[in-house]
Chain A
Amino acid sequence: MVGEAIVITSGKGGVGKTTTTANIGTALALQGKHVCLLDTDIGLRNLDVIMGLENRIIYDLVDAAEGRCKPQQAIVKDKRFDCLHLLPAAQTTDKSAVTPEQMKSLVQELRPHYDYLLIDCPAGIEQGYKNAVAGADQAIVVTTPDNSAVRDADRIIGLLEQEDLAAPKLIVNRVPIVRSDYEDALDVDDVVSTLAIDLLGMVVNDENVLKAAQQGEPIAMNPSTKPGLAYRNIARRILGESVPLMSLEEKEGFMNKLKRMFGVGKTS
């Protein structure tokens, strides 16, 4: 296997990078893929919390990067899937503890053992971002439909274009479905046309995502929720399956369906 390394980034904090990483990882594992999640948010790790694996951490990414242990030793296996692994960030130090070169060789070392390596990038465009991007082949940009997140996503896409990566893909997170929230948010079409990159998927704003994260069980485990299904679809698109989309019409259809569902729910 030659694993593909995908960095998940956004620029702005709090748009759902870590949640997205956990859920795409879970959804890929559901498809039987061997996946390793790398948390590069050194000093402020929480991918392990969302995955519900914090108690099992022995070594971390910094230990592995500096050669205090083998990368395989630092890896934590998921509770639910044998094929889903996590390389947790260190909590005791900060972003400058690792260099982009170390990250690159760490990714190279893990690559043969997995189908996908998902790198959770910290917020910002400094050292942590540079580390996260160093080893990646591809990038997924996460944004929410509001001006500041889109502005930062635009900045990040500009920076990613300077790297030696495939064209980045977009996930629009927390798309509102309640009509009163709808007024305040940007239209997804506008977001996509401003950023001018391919849309990989969008995830509706749903409180169940937060609840699931609280319980340490990613929402992707639960396909009866809309976000759960959305993450599964995103995973299938990453695998190259033709769950259509990519085209705006498909996305429009999806949105309209949601709107209709809401409309029906309201009147009945």
Chain B
Amino acid sequence: MLQSQSKQKVTIKGNKDGLTVHLDDRCAFEELIEELQEKMTEEGLPTGEGPEIHVNVDVGYRYIPPEDEHAVIQTIEQHGRIHVANVHSQVISKYEAEEQKKETEIAKVARIVRSGQVVHTKGDLLLLGDVNPGGTVEATGSIYVMGTLQGMARAGIEGRGDAYVAAGVMNPAQIMINESVYIAADENVEENGQSTNDVQESPCYAYINGKDIQFDKMRGFSTR
């Protein structure tokens, strides 16, 4: 009886991606850890020297906070050769869900970003207005400036290399996408502020090409 119950809580299955440890999502977490502990110290598991075994953990519809996740990983990894590749859950917290939503949303801002001001958003930023010299716009995603971009734009600030910066009139002092930086040539910045050769009067966007930032006309824009 006891034996059959424990089999329901922790099951290990093999598929084409390797081993998956399924954890029952209805029982108490303590019971689960207990079971897991038993399974891991059971006889018959590969021992001694050999390649590392990667396993996935599937907790089903159980919400698993970071400390519980850590406990599960530790219990499994106490066996020297087993490594947990990832812990998969069907459930996330409301906070995480909202953060994820922000990541994929477009924040709309209608104002002029003036010298000394910083506009920071999660996800993409759609700015209806200008970024004046000395002003800064930042987003974890892409940035679209409908007016003139003369200040600084930082897109993909949390590491998204596929982010881009688009502007109606492109005359930035600096553009940063992820880790790549474009700095306007000196004559661009100082000479009357406007009307130097590098200024893109027609809508234009900047993206990472290799390691450098490259500019391209909006015509013929295609999602790469």
Q: Which residue of A lies closest to B147 (CB)?
A: A196
B17 to chain A, nearest CB (A): 54
What residues of chain A lie closer than 8 Å to B115, measured between beta carbons?
151-152, 154-155, 158
Interface size on A, residues (CB 8 A): 15
Hey, which chain A residues are within 8 Å of B135, CB to CB?
154
> Closest residue of chain A to B129, judged by CB?
A196
> Would you list which residues of chain B between 163 and 193 have a CB under 8 Å from chain A?
190, 192-193
Measured between alpha carbons, how far is A20 from B97 in the docked complex, in Å?
Answer: 56
A194: CB under 8 A from chain B?
Answer: yes
Can you name the residue of chain B whose Cβ is closest to the Cβ of A191? Answer: B193
Digitize A214-248: 1 where CB-to-B-CB distance is under 8 Å, 0 elsewhere.
00000000000000000000000000000000000
Residues of B within 8 A of A154 (CB): 114-115, 132-135
Complex formed: what's the CA distance from A147 to B192 in Å?
A: 7
Say whether A196 contacts B130, CB under 8 Å: yes
A186 with B112: CB separation less than 8 A: no
Residues of A174-197 whose CB lies within 8 A of B: 186, 190, 194-196
Contact A147 B190 (CB under 8 A): yes
In whole angstroms, how far apart are the Cα atoms of A147 and B133 in the complex? 9
Is B116 at the interface (CB under 8 A from chain A)? yes
Interface status of B209 (Cβ within 8 A of chain A): no
How far does the Cβ of A178 sit from chain B's closest Cβ, in whole Å? 18
Which residues of chain A come closer than 8 Å to B190, judged between CB atoms?
A: 147
Most chain B CB within 10 A, of A158, A186, A195, is at A158
Find the residue from B115, B134, B135 having the highest chain A CB count within 10 A.
B115
* Chain B binding surface, main DSSP class: loop
Report how far A90 CA is from B119 CA in the complex, Å: 39
User: Measured between alpha carbons, how far is A157 from B190 in the docked complex, in Å?
Assistant: 22
Q: Smallest Cβ distance from B173 to chain A, in angstroms?
A: 11
Q: Contacting B192 at CB < 8 Å: which of A158, A186, A196? A: A186
For chain B, give the interface size range.
10 to 19
Instruction: Write the chain B residue with the least CB distance to A190.
Output: B194
* A190 close to B114 (CB less than 8 A): no
CB of B114 within 8 A of CB of A158, answer yes
Indicate if B117 sits at the interface (CB-CB under 8 A): yes
Q: Which residue of A lies closest to B111 (CB)?
A: A161
- B residues 120-145 in Cβ contact with A at 8 Å: 130, 132-135
Instruction: Determine how close the nearest CB of chain A comes to the CB of B111; give it in whole angstroms.
Output: 8
Docked complex Cα distance between A190 and B150 (Å): 13
Docked CA distance A54–B194 (Å): 44
Determine if A196 and B116 form an interchain contact, defined as CB atoms under 8 angstroms apart. no
Whole-angstrom CA separation of A75 from B192 in the bound complex:
44
Name the A residues within 8 Å of B194 (CB-CB). 190
A contact residues around B112 at 8 Å (CB): 196
**Which chain A residues (135-175) contact chain B, with CB distance < 8 Å?**
147, 150-152, 154-155, 157-159, 161
**Quick check: A155 and B116 within 8 Å, CB to CB?**
yes
Contacts of A147 in B (CB 8 A): 133, 190, 193
Complex CA–CA separation, A26 to B133 (angstroms): 35
Q: Which residue of B lies closest to A184 (CB)?
A: B192
A157 and B115 alpha carbons, distance in the complex (Å):
9
Chain A CB within 10 Å, residue with most, of B112, B134, B135: B112
Q: B193–A190 contact, CB under 8 A? A: yes
Q: What's the minimum C-beta distance from A77 to chain B, rounded to whole angstroms?
A: 40
A196 to B114, alpha carbons, bound, how many Å?
A: 10
Identify the interface centre among B116, B117, B133, B134: most chain A CB within 10 Å of its CB.
Answer: B116
In the assembled complex, the CB of A208 is this many whole angstroms from the nearest CB of chain B, namely 28
B167 CB → nearest A CB, Å:
15
Contacts of B133 in A (CB 8 A): 147, 151, 154, 194
Additional 15 contacts, C-beta under 8 A, given A155-B114, A158-B115, A194-B133: A151-B133, A154-B114, A154-B132, A154-B133, A154-B134, A155-B116, A155-B134, A157-B114, A158-B114, A159-B116, A161-B114, A190-B192, A190-B194, A194-B130, A196-B112
A-B contact pairs, 30 of them (CB 8 A): A147-B133, A147-B190, A147-B193, A150-B193, A151-B115, A151-B134, A152-B115, A154-B114, A154-B132, A154-B133, A155-B114, A155-B134, A157-B114, A158-B114, A158-B116, A158-B117, A159-B116, A161-B114, A186-B192, A186-B193, A190-B192, A190-B193, A190-B194, A194-B130, A194-B132, A194-B133, A194-B150, A195-B132, A196-B112, A196-B130
Q: 10 shortest A-B CB distances, which residue pairs? A: A158-B114, A155-B115, A154-B115, A155-B116, A154-B114, A154-B132, A158-B117, A151-B115, A196-B112, A151-B134
Residues of A within 8 A of B (CB): 147, 150-152, 154-155, 157-159, 161, 186, 190, 194-196
